[in-house]
A and B are shown apart, each in its own frame.
Chain A
Amino acid sequence: MTIPKDYFDWAAKLFDPSRIHEKPEALAGIRVLDLSVIYFGPATGDFLGEMGAEVIKVEMPGQGDVTRILGNASFFWKNISVAFFCANHSKYHMGIDMHRPEGQALIRQLAARSDIVIENYKAGTLEEKFGLGYRQLREVNPRLIYVANTGFGQWGPFSKGRASYDGLAQAVSGLTAITGEGEAPTKIGNYLGDWFGASMSAVGALAALRWRDRTGEGQFVEMAQCEGLVRAMDWTWLYAGLTGRDRQKVGNGDHVFTPSGVYRCADGYVAVVAGTDREFHGLCRMLGEPGLLRHERFATAAARRERASARAMDAKLAAFCGPRSRKQVEAAARKAGVAAAPVMTAKDHAESEHLRARRSVWEYEDPMYGTMVEYGPAPKLSATPARIKWAGKPVGFHNELVLKRILGLDDARIKALEAAGAIGRWTEGRRGAGPPEGWKGEGRLV
């Protein structure tokens, strides 16, 4: 296999991260009204925002989104939970009380001027309680794309009265039952159903946008967290349909690729997998045992999948990795054309030159929070790169800017809305809702 000598220079120039902010944005001019809370909703808005959409996040005045105060073992940083920022980049923050008719009217006005609305309330809540459901908002904006994220969906036996969190989606989908080993469940360490669901709902929103680009028609798009995980279980259902059985739990092993495992090294863990014959040959070279290939227990992929062969190979890999550092194993594997990767921690991410060069770890300066280090956009687009512009801001931080710029309201009307309680900012002294202590107005826009 010949890779042209200049390929990587060409690609580095094509994607040059230092030029990201000079390039146009794919979704420039698209306005997203984000009425959602926690992650499965705000993240959908965030992903569209990374691609250039203008996202207006609406929160309840006073305390705002609960992720402002939920987080890692009650750790607060600059008066807010670090958990808030990952789903709320480059947004405009509004505090609107949806319980008040004037607040509802404002949201209708904003929806009339938006392309996409995102919500993640229980099915029907926005229509029945607030008059802000799809059937109501499409009256003021027939081109509207309305995205609703839920646990179980807008209808169906489980959608009535049942709330959902990510952990529940892991459990009822069947994903927990095929993860790990033994009888006891393993809870997946991030809110996978929220995040995967949010990226899928952004895909749905953009498919609807393409349809609107073609026809001018808006529509309702829904994504259910549980169904997202059901969708993401590869051959589980096909296997159950054919055999009537559940697929066996194999921990860090793999039904298709053997060997596959996670091994302790001198300084952490490393994952090793060899899928093809060619990769297995490399693995034998790496282990210093090229003769293994001729052994009938390892000569074919089918033989390697046999339990005894897999165990024997597992022991060899454990012995190889044990005394070595993760870097040493990774380097040896690379040389041999084998996939081996360190089990990376957040510290490894923060210190990775590769991830920083790709802006997958993104360092930037925010006027309110100073230096930020966060995970950057996942897909890299050469002509319209996704980007982070600023960090999440306090509740209602951009009220005036949005009301003046988009709705053309003057100071008197804005004051009246404040007096009526329809709009508001953070409550002083509420952790997570307001700016950091000692804030002197940096980043204020109006």
Chain B
Amino acid sequence: MTRAAAPRTPPHLGEQARPDGRWDEWIKAAEDPGGVADKPEALDDLLVLDLSHGHYGALLTATYLAELGAEVIKVEPPGGDPARRWGPADASAGGDGLAFVAEARNRYHLTLDLTTREGRRLLKGLAARADVLIEGFAPGYLDGLGIGYRQLSALNPRLVYVACSAYGQFGPLAKNQPPEHDLTDQALSGLLHLTGDPDTAPVKVGSWISAYGQAAWGALGTLAALHWRERSGRGQMIDVTGAEALMRYLEYSVLLYHASGAIRGRTGLYELAVFPYTFVPVKDGWAFIAGYTDPNFRALCRVMGRPELGDDPRFNTTLQRTTLANEIQLRDEICAWSVNYTSAEILDKVLADPGPGVIVFGPMNPPTRTLTEAHWWERGCLKRLSDPIYGELLLQMPAWRMTGTPPRLKWACRPAGYHNSLILQKYFGIGPSRAAELAADGVL
């Protein structure tokens, strides 16, 4: 058989372009945290109503959109969102809870009592023009007030309406559902069942992670819906639960059960898929270490000064290394070595190894130690600001980097109703005297 001629390709696609300058320098300049304000915002044509009320997942959904440029109006009851009280007992900022102050950023704060007729009339006036509305009330509560998706979509068919709840808007368990909490979300999701040691109670993730996941899905659904709206002209309703948000992150658990009847459980510091992939003690605390493919494991043995472990019949294949009895012995070997060095000393050894193979290593940082590392500050991942109302604040920054439309922090949380006069004037032409009447009537 004769070898066929090499395929022809259009010339500009066959040749690789030769960019000027090193990639890391170019991308650093293109993403420069100091230059963010000079660039446009991806979502700055959107009006979003944040009706989260004691609901962190709904609050965060709006936060992500606000970071990406949307104008977000947070609608709170006259006394403020109950989430304003959420925070640890031993610290607060301007009298508000730290959990709220940390995330209620970039917003316009409007108070409206939605249980009053006038409050609902104003809300409808905003919803008629809004692109997105986000809420976390009990399913059907706003519908009962006449301002749910059923009613608002008649007023504004282009509206994208996101409803966050514990069990969702439909399904056998939707009626009479209890309030949503992170811990119960983690339980329902199955993540709780996977975390911790097999012979003790399961352990939850330390932050309110279900709310962050719920918000990621809420924002993803919203942006997909907005793309579709460009073509169809129509909005829609989006139903997101914190439990299902995390459940989608559980990999193969339910397929494994379907395929084998096995129930994935807790494995503590061991790991059924890959090993070594674990935490080990070091001289100055704990650290994470991994090298699970054959070349990576050999690299780890080399760095440990124990090359013979790479040929040890207990450990010399991935299959052998993922047998629980062998995992325990192997981890013991690594611990006996790691405990003699600080995490910085081990990282030096890891980075000095010429290869082949790659070892993944890093300290288990208490947050205050993460704060001492230059990396996060250089990249603008964290920021200290001096806020005129809330004082000195240290906040985590938006998660994405974008060369064209970078997300940003504009201002921190503001008190409830801080922007009442601006919003009333801008959207309703209501001036100070009418606003005072509304306040006196308890609407604001």
Contact = CB atoms under 8 A, between A and B. Distances in A.
B27 A199 contact: no
A293 interface: no
A18 interface: no
Q: Specify which of A66, A343, A353 lies most central, judged by the most chain B CB atoms within 10 Å of its CB.
A: A343
A115 to B, nearest CB: 11
B206 A179 contact: yes
B176 A342 contact: no
A297 to B, nearest CB: 15
Interface string B243-258: 1110111111111111
A273 B371 contact: no
A27 B227 contact: yes
A140 B9 CA distance: 13
A37 interface: no
A375 B269 CA distance: 25
B225 interface: yes
Nearest to A128: B23
A245 to B, nearest CB: 7
A155 B27 contact: yes
Interface residues of B, number: 199
A354 interface: yes
Contacts of B268: 187
A70 B324 CA distance: 15
Contact of A70 (B187, B201, B247, B273): B273
Interface string B333-377: 000000000000000000100000011111111111111011110
Contacts of A347: 257, 263
B328 interface: no
A27 B224 contact: yes
- SS class, residues of chain A in contact with chain B: mixed
Interface string A327-344: 000000110011111111
Interface stretch (A54-62, A257-265, A393-401, A437-445): A257-265
A238 B395 contact: yes
B24 A168 contact: no
A247 B370 CA distance: 13
Contacts of A214: 45
Contacts of A234: 56, 99, 102-103, 207-208, 211
A288 interface: no
B23 A346 contact: no
B147 to A, nearest CB: 12
B173 A179 contact: no
A345 to B, nearest CB: 5
A196 B237 contact: no
Given A155-B27, A176-B364, A243-B91, A209 B223 contact: yes
A91 to B, nearest CB: 16
Interface string A261-276: 0101000011111011
B209 A381 contact: no
A296 interface: no
Given A133-B19, A220-B401, 10 more contacts: A106-B9, A156-B379, A172-B365, A177-B367, A183-B286, A227-B379, A256-B88, A262-B204, A273-B181, A383-B237
Q: 10 tightest A-B contacts by CB? A: A241-B394, A189-B194, A131-B16, A219-B404, A195-B249, A206-B223, A379-B221, A3-B140, A178-B206, A383-B236
